[in-house]
Structure 1
Amino acid sequence: MMRTMLTLALFASAAPAAALAAPNTAQFSNFVYSGSDPSDAVRAAPDQYRNPILQGFYPDPSVVRVGKDFYLVNSTFAWFPGLPIHHSTDLVHWEQIGNALDRPGMLDFKRLGLSRAVFAPAITHHDGLFYILNTCVDCGGNFLITAKDPKGPWSDPVWLPEVGGIDASLFFDEGEGGDGRAWIVNNDNPPGQPEYQGHRAIWIQEYDPKAQKTIGPRSVLLDKGVNPAAKPIWPEGPHILKKDGWYYLVAAEGGTAEGHSQVVLRGKSVTGPYVPYKDNPILTQRGLPKDRPLPITSAGHADLVDTPDGKWWATFLAVRPYGDDLYNTGRETFLLPVEWKDGWPVILENGQTIPYVKTAPKLPALKTAPTSGPFTAKETFAGPELPKGWMTMRIPTARWWSVKGGILSVEARKDRLGGNEQPSVWARRQQHMNATVSTTVRFEPKADGDKAGLAAIQNDAFYWFVGLVRDGGKTLVRVEKRTGAGDPADGVVVAEKPVSLAKGQGLNLRINVKGGGLDFAYGTAPGQWETLKADADGASLSTKVAGGFVGTMLGVYAHGAEQ
């Protein structure tokens, strides 16, 4: 199994796994994730694919083609390792091959909230080199990283202080009529004072790839949006593409909630002027009936790519709510074909719903683990590293975990979930509306406050936990929650029972997600479960309630009250 290659040299001074103090080490085994969705009832024919193509917390997709291969990168905000790199040969089947941010020394997320740090990345390729432009919000600003191989290693960040705002992308003016120059486009404040909340502009500036710095003046390509009189909000995620002598500026508009959309403009010069398409937006789900079955909403932030057979496709983000704008899975990556109409790219005609199944590109497919539809993923912890899709909160400064022989050993450290710290958490994405995650934990809590178990995390202020705890000198199996900043950081007790385990005996733990509901169970023998709490309010993990831009992560957590 492919593994996350965190730079172990930076952890050389950390204690090896065998040296972790036994009372403060939790051991996890047999981690199983399984999920399905109501939309699975929509059958896909052999020549069709299923949306979303990357389920779960995979927002802000950016895609590039190099020959017959496609590479895609997503936002990860303050989770680490960040900026996952996926590879595909057909735009449908994707395999994660690396993380562009995989070294603790590259960035410093400090104590930022989980929806800060690395926003929308943009990937491109030129002259044998891959480029990712990205923004570290509240932790440095815009930066560029490069790699000869998309698997990595990626370079240390090159900071671009002249580029303000967010959502920067890089365009090389090649092909017919091109002069080979490189340009950065991004979202930033307008030239004067903003006239209203969400008033932003799209800017352009030349970039010198050899000197790795911007040159010349910045200029505005789009102020407010395609219809300024309507006071559009948040033009962002801009990309420039070139086709048939035209330069196309493609950008999101309307914010990332239900008003999200994608618009396009074109011009004869890379620096404009750009004229908007008369039938914008070219993608949106706003204005559709709220009671439509199996809704997909909040679509936008698209990136367009051509295929070797001359077709065009768009990756974009959208969400799948289980209630009124309630979704726990975060913003996901979708795929639709692009139709060129009178020289304009159209992803979806206004008024049409995003389909769950669609005819697939006629391209050779990778054989890889599923990233959409119903599936089960079993992690055996064979080691020496975790799967590439597993992440921890913020950036570790020491190696407090090990993976070997079927065991994930996690040091129960003082940093805690709920404290905007770097707790002993490793987790994977919730990728389905209905999902089950289970594991076996071996842990001997010695001091009051020691705990280890499973956690469902939206952010520091909104999480659920089930596991072993020590309280009042007793060992308990307990469900805890934090459903707002007003709750104690250590969580509120929801349910608990005393539990007696023989030395070295494991406790089986399970979280069952049913849309906006959560069930918590435990067991001391295989296949025998006792419900500790049923029908808990899982809507507290939705973006609508918890806020932010991330999705729910399901994984393991250990905390030691004393060290």
Structure 2
Amino acid sequence: MKKRLIHPIVFKNKAVLAVTALLSLNISAQVFSGFTYRGNDKIYTDNPLKDDEFYSPVLQGCYPDPSITRKGNDYYLVNSSFSMFPGVPIFQSKDLVNWKQIGHVLDRPSQLKVEKSGVSEGIYAPDIKYNPYNDTFYMVTTQIASGIGNMIVKTKDPTKGWSEVQKLNFDGIDPSIFFDDNGKAYIIHNDAPPKGTEQYSGHRVIKIWDYDLEKDQVVAGTDKIIVNGGVDLSQKPIWIEGPHLYKKRGKYYLMCAEGGTGGNHSEVIFVSDSPKGPFIPAGNNPILTQRYFPKDRKDKVDWAGHADLVETPEGDYYGVFLAIRPNEKNRVNTGRETFILPVDWSGTYPVFQNGLVPIKPALKMLKGVKNQTGQTGFFPNGNFTFSDALTNSDLDKRWIAMRGPRENFITITKKGLKINSFATNIKAKAPISALFHRQQHASFEAAVALDFTPKSEKELAGITCYQNEKFNYVFGLTKKGNDYYLVLERTEKGNSIIVAHEKIGLSKTMQLKVVAEGDDYTFNYSLDGKTFKNLGGKVSGDILSTDIAGGFTGSLIGLYSTLSNDMNW
């Protein structure tokens, strides 16, 4: 990690408050305050909830690859986080409708080593499971680009932190863990076929290993391929992955994603009398997909798959899975989101109810459950508003950094959140001094107050709309000569252009606002706190979509500051 221009962190009572001091008096301070994010998606205004309904996705924005488990009456859900820090957000619920974020599984640099990773590297496809035989929770995942690879952490209480990382001795990706009712444990994962046997691009296999709960390691020599290629190898299925193993009525069920993470994504199911197979695919596969429907369908949900199942105390089943909701130009700026559907397992195989028809925005409420989303700490959904004065030392858990701890560059003050700038900018594959909130709607506005007086051309602070280090917008205040300028920069494939710049008379505090209406984004500012002026006109959000930028994340809205501004005009 590069040397930074700040002192080490001092923590008080494990709070987020970080006490830092600038080493150079020549560096300007900037304070962000009064952040507001407001969603305005037509799908919610056109589909108001009835008293007995709730919205799915339950987690809007970039919350992909969900995995779920239950202990007693408490459900726990985790998501992929790639190079976001802290990593693997974890949510708790008592009813599958109302969710609270209780923290992150990987919240220490010793657990998460993504300092030099691209945004879509880092943590892939976590799996969380509770083992009743030793009263312990396990989270197993793949940490890409760190040399760690497949890994596991555990805890007795997910609200009180997780263990250090145990590296697992096998290759491949997407590991999950299964606890049999005889006390035995197994790891299942995606891998390449044996050397020399690959038949086509995307040919993968599912393997299983015995797992030693005492040593927290797979048992050498116990690995076995239990699925080769997918449901029907003769059809050349691609990317069998995301496996989960379940047991019901004495049978073992293996559920996997198949078809890749795009338009052909699906969920398939196999059954066996033994955890090590042979596994026979169901005749009615897939059990979940959105690939068969017209591309121009209303309220489009697509790419559904990568699912996990959970049984309620009453014996009912629900499945969480990822899917996307593209905007009017089929852009995927919000990324992969966490959806939920009831699962019918009255027959031999589980089937996602209404998972093979176009997915609707609202579901029937679970019996006896009251919708409390957005209230008393429960995560919001629909067209919600999130407001944060940025003065609370206990920073909201939805704020994340990139490639390193938030506490390395923030100071919470009574006036707002102070960012102590790094000597890296938004284009670096390195920790950057930016605090991010996920874009959770196709149409939204996000605004923040900024108190900042740059002292040189190298200093810049403002808002970024960020898909990754090579695809982003920066809307910020800097200095050129003796004058102050607001500048809007667009970076595509790593190449930056200045969309617009404007000399301004600097006031003590300015307001910055980004507004999106589907693919159209506008960047606006106010010097009096009342009247906003646009800079740069309407610009396309195309570079904030995964179909243009690549990768696996959704767009982020960042409060950004740097000592390495490289804009030229």
How far has the Cα of 1:392 moved from its partner? 0.9
How far has the Cα of 1:43 moved from its partner? 2.4
How far has the Cα of 1:156 moved from its partner? 0.7
Corresponding position: 1:525 with 2:556: no
Q: With the length of structure 2 as denominator, give the TM-score of the two structures.
A: 0.92
Return the letter of the residue paired with 1:66. K
Return the letter of the residue paired with 2:174. D
Distance in 1 of aligned mates of 2:217 and 2:22: 46
2:202 alignment counterpart: 198
Gaps of 5+ in 2: 1-8
Equivalenced residue count is 545
1:158 alignment counterpart: 166
Return the letter of the residue paired with 2:137. F
Gaps of 5+ in 1: 1-5
How far has the Cα of 1:21 moved from its partner? 4.9
Corresponding position: 1:131 with 2:134: no
Corresponding position: 1:145 with 2:148: no
Q: Would the aligned equivalents of 1:447 and 1:561 in 2 still touch at CA under 8 Å?
A: no
How far has the Cα of 1:325 moved from its partner? 3.7
2:549 alignment counterpart: 546
Return the letter of the residue paired with 2:175. A
| 1:281-340 Cα deviation digits (max 9, x unpaired) | 000000210111121000000000011121100000000001454110000000100012
Cα distance change, pair 370–156 in 1 and its aligned pair in 2 (3 A): closer
Return the letter of the residue paired with 1:170. I
Return the letter of the residue paired with 2:189. N
Distance in 2 of aligned mates of 1:54 and 1:451: 33
Distance in 2 of aligned mates of 1:417 and 1:198: 33
Cα distance change, pair 433–269 in 1 and its aligned pair in 2 (3 A): same
Distance in 1 of aligned mates of 2:497 and 2:162: 42
Distance in 1 of aligned mates of 2:119 and 2:354: 35
Cα distance change, pair 9–146 in 1 and its aligned pair in 2 (3 A): farther
5 Å-filtered alignment, 1:375-454, equals 375-396=384-405, 399-454=408-463
Corresponding position: 1:300 with 2:308: no
Distance in 2 of aligned mates of 1:370 and 1:132: 22
| 1:384-437 Cα deviation digits (max 9, x unpaired) | 242111111112497221123241100122111012121101011011111111
Distance in 2 of aligned mates of 1:417 and 1:245: 53
1:3 alignment counterpart: none
How far has the Cα of 1:10 moved from its partner? 13
Cα distance change, pair 129–451 in 1 and its aligned pair in 2 (3 A): same
5 Å-filtered alignment, 1:133-532, equals 133-139=140-146, 140-161=148-169, 163-174=170-181, 179-193=182-196, 194-215=198-219, 216-323=221-328, 325-348=330-353, 351-365=356-370, 367=375, 368-396=377-405, 399-485=408-494, 487=495, 491-502=496-507, 505-532=508-535
Distance in 2 of aligned mates of 1:443 and 1:432: 29
Cα distance change, pair 406–444 in 1 and its aligned pair in 2 (3 A): closer
Return the letter of the residue paired with 1:222. V
Corresponding position: 1:534 with 2:543: no
Q: Would the aligned equivalents of 1:448 and 1:473 in 2 still touch at CA under 8 Å?
A: no
Q: With the length of structure 1 as denominator, give the TM-score of the two structures.
A: 0.93
Distance in 1 of aligned mates of 2:261 and 2:482: 48
| 1:465-490 Cα deviation digits (max 9, x unpaired) | 112012344210111110222x1xxx
Q: Would the aligned equivalents of 2:246 and 2:253 in 1 still touch at CA under 8 Å?
A: yes
| 1:251-273 Cα deviation digits (max 9, x unpaired) | 10001101100000011111111
Q: Would the aligned equivalents of 2:76 and 2:91 in 1 still touch at CA under 8 Å?
A: yes
Return the letter of the residue paired with 2:205. A
Q: Which residue of 36, 40, 46 maps to 2:51?
A: 46
Q: Would the aligned equivalents of 1:118 and 1:134 in 2 still touch at CA under 8 Å?
A: yes
Q: Which residue of 74, 81, 94 maps to 1:76?
A: 81
How far has the Cα of 1:537 moved from its partner? 0.9
Distance in 2 of aligned mates of 1:188 and 1:409: 45
Q: Would the aligned equivalents of 1:385 and 1:403 in 2 still touch at CA under 8 Å?
A: no
| 1:95-137 Cα deviation digits (max 9, x unpaired) | 1001011112222113111001100000001122110001001
Distance in 2 of aligned mates of 1:416 and 1:11: 29
Q: Secondary structure at the match of 1:540?
A: helix
Return the letter of the residue paired with 2:542. A
Distance in 1 of aligned mates of 2:165 and 2:469: 27
Cα distance change, pair 382–318 in 1 and its aligned pair in 2 (3 A): same
Q: Secondary structure at the match of 1:279?
A: coil
Cα distance change, pair 483–59 in 1 and its aligned pair in 2 (3 A): same
Q: Would the aligned equivalents of 2:11 and 2:18 in 1 still touch at CA under 8 Å?
A: no
Return the letter of the residue paired with 1:386. L
Q: Secondary structure at the match of 1:103?
A: coil
Return the letter of the residue paired with 1:166. I
Q: Secondary structure at the match of 1:39?
A: helix
Distance in 1 of aligned mates of 2:555 and 2:407: 25
Return the letter of the residue paired with 1:24. S
Cα distance change, pair 148–404 in 1 and its aligned pair in 2 (3 A): farther
Cα distance change, pair 155–543 in 1 and its aligned pair in 2 (3 A): same
How far has the Cα of 1:350 moved from its partner? 7.1
Distance in 2 of aligned mates of 1:191 and 1:52: 38
Return the letter of the residue paired with 1:164. D
How far has the Cα of 1:51 moved from its partner? 1.3
Distance in 2 of aligned mates of 1:159 and 1:371: 35
Q: Would the aligned equivalents of 1:282 and 1:349 in 2 still touch at CA under 8 Å?
A: no
How far has the Cα of 1:208 moved from its partner? 0.8
Q: Would the aligned equivalents of 2:484 and 2:506 in 1 still touch at CA under 8 Å?
A: no
- Bigger mean CA deviation after superposition, 350-359 or 92-101: 350-359
Q: Would the aligned equivalents of 1:24 and 1:413 in 2 still touch at CA under 8 Å?
A: no
Return the letter of the residue paired with 2:274. S
Q: Would the aligned equivalents of 1:426 and 1:556 in 2 still touch at CA under 8 Å?
A: yes
Cα distance change, pair 328–7 in 1 and its aligned pair in 2 (3 A): farther
Pairwise CA RMSD of aligned residues? Answer: 2.1
Corresponding position: 1:26 with 2:34: no
Q: Would the aligned equivalents of 1:99 and 1:151 in 2 still touch at CA under 8 Å?
A: no
Distance in 2 of aligned mates of 1:19 and 1:447: 16
Distance in 1 of aligned mates of 2:73 and 2:479: 55
Q: Which residue of 56, 80, 94 maps to 1:89?
A: 94
How far has the Cα of 1:371 moved from its partner? 2.7
Cα distance change, pair 516–20 in 1 and its aligned pair in 2 (3 A): farther
Q: Would the aligned equivalents of 1:119 and 1:137 in 2 still touch at CA under 8 Å?
A: yes
Q: Would the aligned equivalents of 1:480 and 1:492 in 2 still touch at CA under 8 Å?
A: yes
Q: Would the aligned equivalents of 2:82 and 2:124 in 1 still touch at CA under 8 Å?
A: yes
Q: Would the aligned equivalents of 2:22 and 2:420 in 1 still touch at CA under 8 Å?
A: no
2:3 alignment counterpart: none
Cα distance change, pair 305–350 in 1 and its aligned pair in 2 (3 A): closer
- Bigger mean CA deviation after superposition, 406-415 or 115-124: 406-415
| 1:114-172 Cα deviation digits (max 9, x unpaired) | 001100000001122110001001211000001111123111100002x2111100000
Return the letter of the residue paired with 1:244. R
Distance in 1 of aligned mates of 2:400 and 2:321: 23
